[in-house]
Chains A and B, each alone.
Chain A
Protein backbone atom coordinates (compact mmCIF):
# COMPACT_ATOMS: atom_id res chain seq x y z
CA UNK A 1 0.00 0.00 0.00
CA UNK A 2 2.89 2.36 0.69
CA UNK A 3 4.49 4.60 -1.90
CA UNK A 4 1.27 5.61 -3.65
CA UNK A 5 -1.51 8.13 -3.24
CA UNK A 6 -5.06 8.38 -4.49
CA UNK A 7 -6.06 11.92 -5.35
CA UNK A 8 -9.56 13.04 -6.23
CA UNK A 9 -11.41 15.88 -7.92
CA UNK A 10 -14.65 15.65 -5.96
CA UNK A 11 -14.51 19.21 -4.68
CA UNK A 12 -14.15 20.60 -8.23
CA UNK A 13 -16.85 18.26 -9.55
CA UNK A 14 -19.25 19.37 -6.83
CA UNK A 15 -18.53 23.00 -7.61
CA UNK A 16 -19.19 22.39 -11.31
CA UNK A 17 -22.47 20.63 -10.55
CA UNK A 18 -24.48 23.60 -9.28
CA UNK A 19 -22.24 23.87 -6.21
CA UNK A 20 -23.54 20.61 -4.82
CA UNK A 21 -23.01 20.39 -1.06
CA UNK A 22 -21.19 17.54 0.68
CA UNK A 23 -24.49 16.61 2.35
CA UNK A 24 -26.28 16.36 -1.03
CA UNK A 25 -23.55 14.11 -2.42
CA UNK A 26 -23.54 12.05 0.80
CA UNK A 27 -27.31 11.52 0.58
CA UNK A 28 -27.06 10.37 -3.03
CA UNK A 29 -24.35 7.79 -2.38
CA UNK A 30 -25.57 6.64 1.03
CA UNK A 31 -22.75 7.75 3.32
CA UNK A 32 -22.40 10.46 5.96
CA UNK A 33 -21.32 14.01 5.15
CA UNK A 34 -18.23 13.42 7.29
CA UNK A 35 -17.26 10.48 5.08
CA UNK A 36 -17.55 12.61 1.93
CA UNK A 37 -15.36 15.20 3.65
CA UNK A 38 -12.80 12.50 4.62
CA UNK A 39 -12.71 11.25 1.00
CA UNK A 40 -12.21 14.79 -0.35
CA UNK A 41 -9.36 15.42 2.07
CA UNK A 42 -7.69 12.10 1.18
CA UNK A 43 -8.18 10.74 4.71
CA UNK A 44 -10.22 7.82 3.47
CA UNK A 45 -10.11 5.78 0.25
CA UNK A 46 -13.67 4.62 -0.50
CA UNK A 47 -14.70 1.16 -1.68
CA UNK A 48 -15.01 0.54 -5.41
CA UNK A 49 -18.80 0.62 -5.04
CA UNK A 50 -18.83 4.09 -3.48
CA UNK A 51 -16.20 5.30 -5.97
CA UNK A 52 -18.41 4.19 -8.90
CA UNK A 53 -21.45 5.75 -7.24
CA UNK A 54 -19.65 9.10 -6.99
CA UNK A 55 -18.65 8.90 -10.65
CA UNK A 56 -22.26 8.05 -11.57
CA UNK A 57 -23.60 11.07 -9.66
CA UNK A 58 -21.33 13.38 -11.66
CA UNK A 59 -21.84 11.36 -14.89
CA UNK A 60 -18.08 11.09 -15.53
CA UNK A 61 -15.65 8.15 -15.85
CA UNK A 62 -14.07 6.89 -12.63
CA UNK A 63 -10.60 8.14 -13.56
CA UNK A 64 -11.96 11.66 -13.79
CA UNK A 65 -12.94 11.45 -10.12
CA UNK A 66 -9.99 9.49 -8.71
CA UNK A 67 -6.38 9.54 -9.87
CA UNK A 68 -3.77 7.04 -8.74
CA UNK A 69 -0.29 8.47 -8.42
CA UNK A 70 2.90 6.75 -7.41
CA UNK A 71 4.76 8.79 -4.81
CA UNK A 72 8.08 10.27 -5.90
CA UNK A 73 11.08 8.91 -4.01
Chain B
Protein backbone atom coordinates (compact mmCIF):
# COMPACT_ATOMS: atom_id res chain seq x y z
CA UNK B 1 0.00 0.00 0.00
CA UNK B 2 1.24 3.48 -0.86
CA UNK B 3 2.41 5.40 2.21
CA UNK B 4 0.79 8.63 3.33
CA UNK B 5 2.87 11.80 3.60
CA UNK B 6 2.97 11.46 7.41
CA UNK B 7 4.20 7.88 7.27
CA UNK B 8 6.92 8.86 4.79
CA UNK B 9 7.82 11.73 7.13
CA UNK B 10 8.16 9.33 10.08
CA UNK B 11 10.42 7.01 8.04
CA UNK B 12 12.59 9.94 6.92
CA UNK B 13 13.04 11.24 10.46
CA UNK B 14 13.79 7.75 11.78
CA UNK B 15 16.43 7.05 9.12
CA UNK B 16 18.03 10.50 9.44
CA UNK B 17 18.33 10.15 13.21
CA UNK B 18 20.06 6.78 12.80
CA UNK B 19 22.38 8.08 10.03
CA UNK B 20 23.32 11.37 11.70
CA UNK B 21 23.35 10.54 15.40
CA UNK B 22 24.41 6.86 15.17
CA UNK B 23 28.04 7.61 14.17
CA UNK B 24 28.08 10.63 16.50
CA UNK B 25 27.21 8.66 19.61
CA UNK B 26 29.64 5.93 18.57
CA UNK B 27 32.34 8.63 18.70
CA UNK B 28 31.02 9.97 22.01
CA UNK B 29 31.15 6.43 23.43
CA UNK B 30 34.81 6.22 22.40
CA UNK B 31 35.44 9.61 23.98
CA UNK B 32 33.93 8.51 27.28
CA UNK B 33 36.03 5.35 27.28
CA UNK B 34 39.10 7.46 26.43
CA UNK B 35 39.67 6.36 22.85
CA UNK B 36 38.81 9.53 20.94
CA UNK B 37 38.09 13.21 21.32
CA UNK B 38 34.84 14.92 20.27
CA UNK B 39 34.92 18.70 19.96
CA UNK B 40 32.06 20.53 21.69
CA UNK B 41 31.12 22.29 18.44
CA UNK B 42 30.48 18.93 16.75
CA UNK B 43 27.34 18.53 18.85
CA UNK B 44 25.79 21.76 17.59
CA UNK B 45 27.00 21.18 14.03
CA UNK B 46 25.31 17.76 13.95
CA UNK B 47 22.04 19.09 15.35
CA UNK B 48 22.11 21.81 12.67
CA UNK B 49 22.93 19.22 9.97
CA UNK B 50 20.03 17.06 11.14
CA UNK B 51 17.54 19.94 10.87
CA UNK B 52 18.87 20.98 7.43
CA UNK B 53 18.56 17.39 6.13
CA UNK B 54 15.06 17.10 7.63
CA UNK B 55 13.92 20.25 5.82
CA UNK B 56 15.57 19.34 2.50
CA UNK B 57 14.19 15.77 2.37
CA UNK B 58 10.72 16.83 3.55
CA UNK B 59 10.59 19.55 0.90
CA UNK B 60 11.65 16.97 -1.70
CA UNK B 61 8.78 14.59 -0.83
CA UNK B 62 6.33 17.49 -0.49
CA UNK B 63 7.19 18.60 -4.05
CA UNK B 64 6.44 15.07 -5.30
CA UNK B 65 3.03 14.96 -3.58
CA UNK B 66 2.03 18.56 -2.78
CA UNK B 67 -1.61 17.74 -2.12
CA UNK B 68 -0.82 15.21 0.62
CA UNK B 69 1.77 17.54 2.14
CA UNK B 70 -0.67 20.47 2.33
CA UNK B 71 -3.53 18.45 3.81
CA UNK B 72 -3.95 18.81 7.58
CA UNK B 73 -3.52 15.71 9.75
CA UNK B 74 -6.70 13.67 9.92
CA UNK B 75 -8.02 12.13 13.16
CA UNK B 76 -6.13 8.83 12.73
CA UNK B 77 -2.84 10.61 12.11
CA UNK B 78 -3.40 12.87 15.14
CA UNK B 79 -4.13 9.81 17.32
CA UNK B 80 -1.01 8.01 16.07
CA UNK B 81 1.05 11.12 16.79
CA UNK B 82 -0.38 11.39 20.32
CA UNK B 83 0.20 7.72 21.17
CA UNK B 84 3.76 7.78 19.86
CA UNK B 85 4.54 11.03 21.69
CA UNK B 86 3.22 9.57 24.96
CA UNK B 87 5.50 6.54 24.63
CA UNK B 88 8.45 8.79 23.78
CA UNK B 89 7.75 10.90 26.85
CA UNK B 90 8.42 7.94 29.17
CA UNK B 91 11.71 7.29 27.38
CA UNK B 92 12.72 10.94 27.69
CA UNK B 93 11.69 10.96 31.36
CA UNK B 94 13.87 7.92 32.11
CA UNK B 95 16.73 9.43 30.09
CA UNK B 96 16.52 12.72 32.00
CA UNK B 97 16.68 10.87 35.33
CA UNK B 98 19.68 8.82 34.18
CA UNK B 99 21.39 12.01 32.98
CA UNK B 100 20.98 13.50 36.45
CA UNK B 101 22.56 10.39 37.96
CA UNK B 102 25.74 10.95 35.87
CA UNK B 103 26.43 13.82 38.29
CA UNK B 104 27.55 11.20 40.83
CA UNK B 105 30.26 9.94 38.49
CA UNK B 106 32.04 13.33 38.33
CA UNK B 107 31.59 13.68 34.58
CA UNK B 108 32.19 16.96 32.75
CA UNK B 109 29.34 19.25 31.71
CA UNK B 110 30.02 18.28 28.08
CA UNK B 111 29.63 14.57 28.85
CA UNK B 112 26.45 15.25 30.84
CA UNK B 113 25.07 17.23 27.90
CA UNK B 114 25.82 14.19 25.71
CA UNK B 115 23.64 12.06 27.98
CA UNK B 116 20.83 14.62 27.74
CA UNK B 117 21.17 14.76 23.94
CA UNK B 118 21.25 10.95 23.81
CA UNK B 119 18.00 10.82 25.81
CA UNK B 120 16.32 13.25 23.41
CA UNK B 121 17.54 11.35 20.35
CA UNK B 122 16.44 7.96 21.70
CA UNK B 123 13.02 9.39 22.65
CA UNK B 124 12.60 10.79 19.13
CA UNK B 125 13.71 7.48 17.64
CA UNK B 126 11.12 5.63 19.74
CA UNK B 127 8.44 8.15 18.71
CA UNK B 128 9.04 7.71 14.98
CA UNK B 129 9.44 3.94 15.28
CA UNK B 130 6.14 3.69 17.18
CA UNK B 131 4.43 5.92 14.60
CA UNK B 132 5.62 3.61 11.82
CA UNK B 133 4.37 0.56 13.74
CA UNK B 134 0.94 2.15 14.30
CA UNK B 135 0.68 3.24 10.66
CA UNK B 136 1.50 -0.33 9.52
CA UNK B 137 -0.27 -2.40 12.18
CA UNK B 138 -3.23 -0.13 12.84
CA UNK B 139 -4.56 1.34 16.07
| Least CB distance, B73 to chain A, in whole angstroms | 9
- Interface of chain A: mostly helix, strand, loop or mixed: loop
The answer, yes or no, to whether B76 is at the interface (CB within 8 Å) is yes
Total count of chain A residues near the partner, CB < 8 A: 16
Q: Which residues of B contact A30 (CB under 8 A)?
A: 74
User: Do B139 and A44 touch across chains, with their CB atoms under 8 A apart?
Assistant: yes
Among the interface residues B2, B68, B76, B138, which one has the most CB atoms of the partner chain A within 10 A?
A: B76
CA distance A32 to B1 in the complex (A): 13
7 contacts between A and B (CB under 8 A): A31-B76, A32-B4, A32-B68, A35-B76, A35-B77, A46-B76, A50-B75
Residues of A at the B interface (CB closer than 8 Å) are 30-35, 37-38, 41-47, 50
Residues of B at the A interface (CB closer than 8 Å) are 1-4, 7, 68, 71, 74-77, 135, 137-139
